A and B are shown apart, each in its own frame.
Chain A
Amino acid sequence: MHTKKGKLFLTTEFYLLLFLIMVLLFLGMFAQGFYSLNNIMSVLNTFSYILIAAIGMNMIIITSNIDVSTGALISVVCLSIAAVGKIGVPFAGLLPLAIVIGALLSTLNALLITKLRIPAIVATLATAQIFQGVLQLMVEGSIYDLPSSYTWLAFKAKLFGVMPASILICAIVTAISLIFMKYSRFSKKIYAIGNNAQASRLTGISVDRTTMITYAIAGALFGISGVIIGTAGQRVTTTMGTGLEMTFIAAVVLGGTSTAGGSGKLTGTIIGAFILALISPAINYLRISADWSDAVKGAIIIVSVLAASLKQRKHKRIITVQSAYAAERQA
C-alpha cells in the first residue's frame, strides 16, 4: 500500500507537471525572447481559450463520448457574435449569446447521441459538416471592419494594464469547474456513466439526461472559448475554429483522461492545455518552421499516452500479486 504522499508522486498529473517544468526551463535556455512580456501574455491568452473548451471536452470524454464538432461549433459562435457585434452590441451581450448558441448546438449533438442512438463520433462528425456547411451558405468568407466595441476583450480589457482579461474569465471558469467536479453530485454521475452505463441505470441514474446536461455544459464552455477566439480581431472568417477540436481533445488526453471514459482529473487537463498552448510559440521562438507544430503535438501525445500506459501496466501487476496475498491474509 502506498502512503498518501507516495500516491501524489505516482499520478499522471505529477509526471506531466514535471514535463511542463522541463519544457519551460528548456525554452528559457534555448528560445531567445520566449519570456518577453508580450509573448507570455499571448501564450496565456491561448491557454485560456484552450483550457475553457478542454474543461468541457474533458467532461464529455469522461462520459465516454466525444465531440469532434467543437471546431465548427466555435466557428458558428464566432460568426454569430460578429454578426451582432457589427451593429454595436457590446461584450456584455456577446458573451451570453455565445454561451446560449454553444449550449444549444452541443445539446443538438447530445440529442442525436441519446435519442437517435448514433455513436458520438459519427453524430458529431456529421454535425461538424453541417455547422460548417450552413456557415458557408450564410456568410461569404468573412465578416470584417468590426467596431472597437466588438474587440473590447482583446484590446481594451487589460488587467493591471497588461494582462488580457481572457485570463480572468479562464480563472473563474476553472475555479468553478474544480469545485464542481469534486463537490457536486452531478459530477459523480458523469464519472459513473463513463465507468459503466448499465450499472448507472441500475443505480437510478438517467444516462441520457446526464449525457445531455454534460453536453449542454460543455457547449456553454465552448461558447465562452469561442468569444475569446472570435473577438481577437476585426475580421472573423468561417474557419476560425477549424481543427481546434483536435487541440482540445489532445489537451484532455494529454492530461490523463482515458478516452474509454470513466476516469480523468481536471488538474491533468489544466496542465495538458498549458503544454499545448506552448507548442506553437515555442516552435516559433526556437526558429523551427511552423509546419512542425502539428507533428510535434502529435508526437507529444503519443509519448505521453505511452508513458501513462506503461506506468499503469507496471502498477497493476504489483497490485494483482499484492492483492492475492492481502486477500489471503485478511481472511
Chain B
Amino acid sequence: MNEIILKLQNIVKTFPGVIALNEINFDLKSGEIHAICGENGAGKSTLMKVVSGVYQPDSGTLEVNGRRECFANPMDAYKKGVSIIFQETSLFEQMTVLDNLFLGHEIVKRKCGLPFIDYAAMKNNAEKIFKKLNTVIDLDSEIRNLGMAQKQMVEIAKALTFDAKIIIFDEPTASLTEREVDALFKIIRKLKNEGRGICYISHRLEEIFELCDRVTVVRDGQYISTTKVTETNKDKLVADMVGRKMDSYYPKTKAQIGNVIFNVEHYFDEDFVSDVSFNVHKGEILGFAGLAGAGRTELMTSVCGFTGRAGGKIFINNVEIFNKSYKETMSNGIIYVSEDRGKYGLILDMCIEHNITLPQLNNFSNWLGIMNREKEKTEGEKYIKELEIKAPDSRFLVTNLSGGNQQKIAVSKALALHPVLLILDEPTRGVDVNAKAEIHKIISELTLKGLTIIMISSELPELIGMCDRIYVMREGKIAGCCERSEFTQEKILSIALGTEKKLEMEER
C-alpha cells in the first residue's frame, strides 16, 4: 500500500492552436483516491485521457508501476491495468451487459481449432464481479434499458473484468441522484481498500472533501497544486481553480414579488405525473427539487404541451389556458429551456443569431419570407452584449462555444420571445464555476425586470441560493413546499427522499 503506481512527469499535449496540457506532473498511490479539479476546459479530462490511452502525449513520461508506458488506445491501457470510466458512458447501447463487459477481450474456448465465445465463463466471471459490487443487473438486458446509475455500474464492472489497478472516474456523479451517489461512493471506497488507485474528477467540491485523500488542481492546462484534502478547504481550492477569490456563488437579489400569475391545479400527465398543483407569483424564482426521475422535467414538458395531459387545469393571470402544443404555450408567454442544450435546446451547427431568431422567423423576415439578416444580426449582438456571451460575433457557430456560453444562448433564445414566465430546466448543468455564477446573476437580474422564473435543478445549494420558494417532487407528485426562510439542504433532501425517518434508516 501507499506506493506510487502511476507517475506522470512533464506531460505536454497540444491540439491545433491550443496547449491543452503544459508540463503537468501527477502521481497516484495504491489505496488512494486522488481528486483532480479545475474549471471546465482546465485540462483535467484531457489529462486523464492521456493516462488512459485516448490521447497520446506530445512529450513527457507516463509510468505505471515504475515502467514507462505509451498506450495506443484505451484497450491497450485496460490490458495494463488502467481503466477509465467516462463522463458520458461509452457503452454500446444496443448490446447486452455481458457483451459490453467483455467487448474486445471475450473469453474464448477452442473447439475444433476455432475460437468460440465462452458465454458460460463470461457470465460466471461477471456475476462474481457484480456480487462484489453489491449490484443486481440482468446480464442479458441491453444497455439502453438501464438507468444512468446502472450504466455506471456496468462501466465499473468492466474495469474490474480487467482487474484494473488504476481506475479513473470522470465526473461520475454528474447524472446521479443523491442516493445513487452514496452507493457509488461506497463502491469507490471499497475499491480503494482493495489497494487500487483511484483518480477522481469532479466539479462538486463537497464530494472531493467527502471522498478523496489528495487533490490536484489544474488551471488552463497548468499544474497548480497538490495537497492533502485535510490540509485545504473549499475556498482555497476554488481560489486555486479560478486563480482569484470568488465573492459569492449565488448573487440573489430579492425582486418585488407580486400576485399569483401562473397556477396549475390537479395536473396529471399521461403516465407519471399525478395530481400536481402549484402556483408562481410575479417576479418570483420558484425552484423544483427532487431526485432524478421524480418527474420534474416530465411535469414541465407536459404543462408546456410537449407531451400529453390526462387531467388538470392551467391558469395564467386567472385565465384558463390549454397549452395543447408548445406553439400555443409560447403564444401564452411561457418558454421552456431544456436541460439538454445539445439535443433539444440549440442547433449546434448554426450560428448564434440564427439560433436566437429560429422560433420567430416571421418577425425577422419580410412578407415574401426573405430573412432580414441585418435585423437578425442586431438581435444577436444585443444578447451577446446583454448576457456577456463570449463570442467574437453573432455569426459564430454555437458548437464552438463552451457549455456556459451555449446555455446563455439558449436563455437568449427564450428571452427574445419576451416571455412572461421562463422555465429553466437544469440551467447550469455541465457549466463551469465562473459561467455558473454569471448565469445565476443573469437569472437574478431577469426577475428584477419583472420576469417570473421556474427553475428545475438537481443541485440543492443552487436552488437554496437562488429561489424564493421550492417545491419538492417525489415519484411524480409534489411532496412538499418550502419558503426561503426554512431552506436547508437536509430538509429538502428528506422530503425528496420520503420522510426524515426513512433518511435515518438509510444512514444506518
Instruction: Determine if B94 and A331 form an interchain contact, defined as CB atoms under 8 angstroms apart.
Output: no
- With A204-B73, A327-B177, A327-B293 known to touch, is A263 a contact of B149 (CB < 8 Å)? no
Instruction: Report whether A188 and B146 are in contact in the complex, using a CB–CB cutoff of 8 Å.
Output: no
Residues of A close to B117: CB separation below 8 A = 182-185, 188
Contact A321 B271 (CB under 8 A): yes
Per DSSP, are chain A's interface residues mostly helix, strand or loop, or mixed?
Answer: helix
Question: Nearest chain-B residue to A1 (Cβ)?
Answer: B138
- Please report the number of residue pairs spanning A and B whose Cβ atoms sit closer than 8 angstroms: 98
Q: Are A321 and B108 in contact (CB under 8 A)?
A: no
**A309 contacts the other chain (CB 8 A):** no
Residue-wise interface mask of A (311-331) relative to B, using a CB-CB cutoff of 8 A (1 in contact, 0 not) = 000000101010111111011
State whether the Cβ of A39 lies closer than 8 Å to any Cβ in chain B.
no
Chain B interface residue count, CB cutoff 8 Å, equals 40
The answer to the question of B90 belonging to the interface, with a C-beta cut-off of 8 Å to chain A, is yes
Contacts of B99 in A (CB 8 A): 188, 191
| A32 CB–B CB distance under 8 Å | no
Is there a chain B Cβ closer than 8 Å to A201's Cβ?
A: yes
User: B291 to A262, Cβ gap below 8 A?
Assistant: no
Q: Which residues from B are CB-within-8-Å of A317? A: 271
Tell yes or no: B183 within 8 A of A by CB.
yes
Q: A204-B104, A317-B271, A324-B293 are in contact. Are A199 and B92 (CB under 8 A)?
A: yes
With a cutoff of 8 Å between Cβ atoms, the chain B residues found around residue A134 in the complex are none
Contact B74 A204 (CB under 8 A): yes
Interface residues on A, range: 20 to 34
A196→B93 contact, CB < 8 A: yes
Q: What 0/1 readout, one digit per residue, does chain B (97-123) give for beta carbons within 8 Å of chain A?
A: 001000110101000000111000000
Q: A205-B104, A330-B149, A331-B177 are in contact. Are A191 and B73 (CB under 8 A)?
A: no
Main secondary structure of the interface of B (DSSP, over half): loop
Is B475 interfacial (CB-CB < 8 Å)? yes
Residue from the list A195, A262, A327 in contact with B150, Cβ < 8 A: A327
Residue from the set A323, A326, A330 with the largest chain B CB neighbour count within 10 Å? A330
Is A202 close to B, CB under 8 A? yes
Interface pair B74/A191, CB less than 8 Å apart: no
Task: Tell whether, in the assembled complex, residue B150 and residue A203 are in contact, meaning their CB atoms are under 8 Å apart.
Answer: no
Interface code B47-73, partner A: CB below 8 Å = 1, 0 otherwise?
000000010000000000000000011
Q: Measured between C-beta atoms, what is the minimum distance from A12 to chain B in Å?
A: 13
Q: A192-B95, A203-B73, A331-B180 are in contact. List 18 more A-B contacts (CB 8 A).
A: A183-B116, A183-B117, A185-B115, A188-B95, A188-B106, A191-B95, A195-B95, A201-B73, A202-B73, A203-B103, A204-B74, A258-B94, A321-B271, A327-B147, A327-B150, A327-B292, A327-B293, A330-B136
12 contacts between A and B (CB under 8 A): A184-B116, A188-B106, A192-B103, A195-B95, A199-B92, A204-B104, A205-B104, A262-B92, A323-B145, A323-B150, A327-B177, A330-B183
Which residues of A approach B to under 8 Å, CB–CB? Answer: 1, 179, 182-185, 188, 191-192, 195-196, 199-205, 258, 262-263, 317, 319, 321, 323-328, 330-331
Q: Which residues of B does A touch, CB under 8 Å? A: 54, 72-76, 90-95, 99, 103-104, 106, 108, 115-117, 135-136, 138, 145-150, 177, 179-180, 182-183, 271-272, 291-293, 475
